[in-house]
Structure 1
Amino acid sequence: MKEKVVLAYSGGLDTTAIIPWLKENFDYEVVCVCIDVGQESELDGLEERAKLSGASKLYIEDVVDEFCDDYVVPCVQANAVYEYKYLLGTSMARPVIAKRLVEIARKEGAVAICHGATGKGNDQVRFELGIKALAPDIKIIAPWRSELWKLDSRESEIEYCKAHGIDLPFAADSSYSRDRNLWHISHEGLELEDPANAPNYDHLLVLGTHPEKAPDEAEEITMTFEQGIPKTINGEAMKVSDIIRTLNKLGGKHGIGIVDIVENRVVGMKSRGVYETPGGTILLEAHEQLEELILDRDTMTAKKDIANKFADIVYEGKWFTPLREACQAFIESTQKYVTGEVKFKLYKGNIIKMGTTSPYSMYSESIASFTTGDLYDHKDADGFINLFGLSLKVRAMKQGSFVELNDK
């Protein structure tokens, strides 16, 4: 009986070519596994294609709700954004994919897991860290890093498939390299490879429209959260995955969430890409809008630092680590009172605040208003400022007048 390998299968040209390559070079029985995290139409026709390419079996595993509830929600609660712009769409899907690959490998008794990530990207790191953390005994095969892999272009991959009796409808002409799930879609390649070029938005966008072509009428949205988890849109209760689907349609319609970024990859190089994250952008903005009403100053300050660390952890593929668990525990503790209602308008790429309410709001009009003073006496600020600025005053007295120093 042949040993089995589980292949992370997308149905694209790379992973299709990998099937006969694995059989030819390792004599494995190839079990394909496609993890559904919301790719939608990209899953059409995969079973026929996998078997035509020589796979013995294809699993299509729907993990959309697990992805949303266990991976997206913690990132939303953290307000995790990598390098100020990237909402981690591809990054946070990789650990749930790695987890399911390991589960299928155990079920099938496979000795290896194979992925089609290139040797230049982040995904090789994310997949392999996840697999190593969950199944250190299983061998990992990365064809793009193997000396046995001689296919260095789309043309060579197509010819390789044809030579093995696989005639599939893949064109040799270049197109954007994309990754899609329920949270976002990424675009790399073509004109984007030169940061001096403007993106060809007419050709590029998939989830929505550019703000310039968005409707001239704004659209008002109301959302509610309970303990940092989104619960309703315009009064309708939904599970998280349906909230993201709904917000994707609304955000896409109004040109929300289009980001053009040159980011620093884990492997050290810079990479330019365009991300569409319409629903995610709205969700993060709404969550932050509610938090600013509820969290105290010190907690918000500490949470910003943890959010940056959490984003780095997710981006670098370190989901299955004690540090991620510890950071998430802190984040979840801050969400206990993040409950309330958020209103905003969507208009030509903008999310415009329309009001926020919460039973746990720390905002007090009787304190903050310029016209009332029942709970705050202006004179109380005298002593506070004297103490708050004491070190500055002492320093000035020791060093001489700052005016004299500046005159010199």
Structure 2
Amino acid sequence: MKEKVVLAYSGGLDTTTLIPWLKETFDYEVICCCIDCGQGEELDGLDERAKLAGASKLYIEDITDDFCDNYIMPCVQANAVYENAYLLGTSMARPAISKRLVEVARKEGATAICHGATGKGNDQIRFELSIMALAPDLKIIAPWRMTDLWTLQSRDDEIAYCKAHGIDLPFDASHSYSRDRNLWHISHEGLELEDPSCEPNYADLLVLGNTPENAPDEDEYVTMTFEEGVPKTINGEAMKVSDIIRKLNELGGKHGIGIVDIVENRVVGMKSRGVYETPGGTILMEAHKQLEELVIDRATMEVKKDLGNKLAQVVYEGKWFTPLCEALRAFVKSTQKYVTGEVKFRLYKGNIIKAGTTSPYSLYNESLASFTTGDMYDHHDASGFITLFGLPLKVRAMKNLEVNNK
């Protein structure tokens, strides 16, 4: 009986080419597994394509809700943003995908998992660290790093290889942007984006929405509610998290929200330039922050900010299934107990503008914050506080005077 390999299958030219290549190179039975994280119509026609290419079976596994509830939301609650710009759309999806690949491999009795990530990118690290953590006994096959066996260097090579194996597929050799899409975002790399001096060609590039200048001239008010850091309603309508993100994607795309052009530092040591569209995610993170600033105390917020940045780095580097990531998520979860309330904001030409926040756990006290004297605050108390708060500075300055006057 042939050994089985589970192939992380997207249906694109690269992973379709891998089906006959795995059979020819290793004599594997190839089980394709396409993980649906909310990429929509990209999954149409995959079953026929995989079978045509020689796969014995195709799994299409919908993990959208798991992705939203157990990967996206911990990062939203942490305000985990890599290098102050990237909202981790691909980074969060890879461990979720890897977990389901391992589950299918166990079900099928496979001995290996294959992915089509290149040797220059971050995804190879994210897939492989996750698989190692969950199934250290499974072999991992990364064809793009197997230069002695994988000799296909271009789309033309891959198309010719498929045709030589009797596989006629609806692909051509014309190059386009390299994209990754799920419910949270879509990323774009390649073409003019490979030159940081070039402005993105947004007319051809954008998929999820408008540029701000093409957005409506009228603003739009949106109200959201949260319970313990989890979004519950939009404009009074209760929805699960995945549907909230879908609705926010629609609103954000319409108003030109969440378009980011960045040069980021990859884990493998090089810089890469990409454009990310995260319309709904940008709104959700801002709405959550708008509520948090009302209910979380200063000391906790300071630590949370640092640990949120650390979580972003850990997730970006593919270390989701590690003790550190688990501990960081546990801290963040503990901070969400009182993140309950309502936020209102308006969307206008790429901007998210606050329009009011309320919470039963609000730490904002109008009597304290008012410029007029309130019952809870005596201005004279500030004198002693400032004396003690500035005491180290005063002692240091006195010592310097003493030394300089000798």
Counterpart for residue 292 of structure 1: 293
- Using the size of structure 2 for normalisation, the TM-score is 0.98
Distance 1:290 1:62 in 2: 31
Counterpart for residue 312 of structure 1: 313
Counterpart for residue 8 of structure 2: 8
Counterpart for residue 393 of structure 1: 394
Residue 87 of structure 1, CA deviation:
0.2
Distance 1:47 1:329 in 2: 39
Residue correspondence of structure 1 range 317-336 to structure 2 within 5 A? 317-336=318-337
Counterpart for residue 74 of structure 1: 74
Counterpart for residue 125 of structure 2: 125
Counterpart for residue 33 of structure 1: 33
Letter of the 2:277 counterpart: E
Counterpart for residue 136 of structure 1: 136
Counterpart for residue 210 of structure 1: 211
Residue deviations 1:53-95 (CA, integer Å, cap 9, x gap): 0000000000000000111110111010000000000000001
Residue 374 of structure 1, CA deviation:
1.1
User: SS at 1:31's partner residue?
Assistant: strand
User: SS at 2:11's partner residue?
Assistant: coil
Distance 1:330 1:372 in 2: 37
Distance 2:66 2:273 in 1: 30
For the aligned residues, what is the CA RMSD? 1.1
Counterpart for residue 114 of structure 1: 114
Letter of the 2:10 counterpart: S
Residue 400 of structure 1, CA deviation:
1.9
Letter of the 2:40 counterpart: E
Residue correspondence of structure 1 range 228-307 to structure 2 within 5 A? 228-307=229-308
Distance 1:308 1:165 in 2: 50
Residue 372 of structure 1, CA deviation:
2.9
Distance 2:49 2:365 in 1: 62
Counterpart for residue 97 of structure 2: 97
Distance 2:63 2:402 in 1: 66
Residue 173 of structure 1, CA deviation:
1.1
User: SS at 1:262's partner residue?
Assistant: strand
Residue deviations 1:189-230 (CA, integer Å, cap 9, x gap): 000000000000000000000001000000000000000000
Distance 2:108 2:343 in 1: 47
Residue 169 of structure 1, CA deviation:
1.0
Letter of the 1:114 counterpart: C
Letter of the 1:217 counterpart: E
Distance 2:26 2:136 in 1: 20
User: SS at 1:255's partner residue?
Assistant: coil
Distance 1:400 1:259 in 2: 51
1:186 has 2:207 as partner? no
Structure 2 unmatched runs, 5+: none
Residue 373 of structure 1, CA deviation:
2.2
Residue deviations 1:271-294 (CA, integer Å, cap 9, x gap): 000000000000000000000000
- Using the size of structure 1 for normalisation, the TM-score is 0.98
Residue 401 of structure 1, CA deviation:
9.1
User: SS at 1:87's partner residue?
Assistant: coil
Distance 1:257 1:133 in 2: 33
Counterpart for residue 49 of structure 2: 49
Letter of the 2:390 counterpart: G
Residue 150 of structure 1, CA deviation:
0.3
Distance 1:194 1:241 in 2: 35
Residue deviations 1:303-344 (CA, integer Å, cap 9, x gap): 000100110111011011111111111101000000000000
User: SS at 2:59's partner residue?
Assistant: strand
1:22 has 2:22 as partner? yes
Distance 1:162 1:189 in 2: 26
Residue 109 of structure 1, CA deviation:
0.5
Letter of the 1:148 counterpart: L
Distance 2:160 2:38 in 1: 31
Distance 1:99 1:248 in 2: 26
Structure 1 residues 401 and 253: CA distance shift in structure 2, 3 A: farther
User: SS at 2:42's partner residue?
Assistant: helix
Q: Percent identity?
A: 79
Letter of the 2:348 counterpart: Y
Distance 2:256 2:334 in 1: 34
Distance 1:256 1:400 in 2: 55
Residue 45 of structure 1, CA deviation:
0.5
User: SS at 2:89's partner residue?
Assistant: coil
Structure 1 unmatched runs, 5+: none
Letter of the 1:156 counterpart: D
User: SS at 2:174's partner residue?
Assistant: coil
Residue deviations 1:115-148 (CA, integer Å, cap 9, x gap): 0000000000000001000000000000000020
Letter of the 2:376 counterpart: L
Q: Give runs of ≥4 in structure 1 deviating > 2 Å.
A: none
Letter of the 1:379 counterpart: H
What is the count of residue pairs matched by the alignment? 404
Letter of the 1:249 counterpart: E
Residue deviations 1:333-385 (CA, integer Å, cap 9, x gap): 00000000000000000000000000000000000000132111111100000
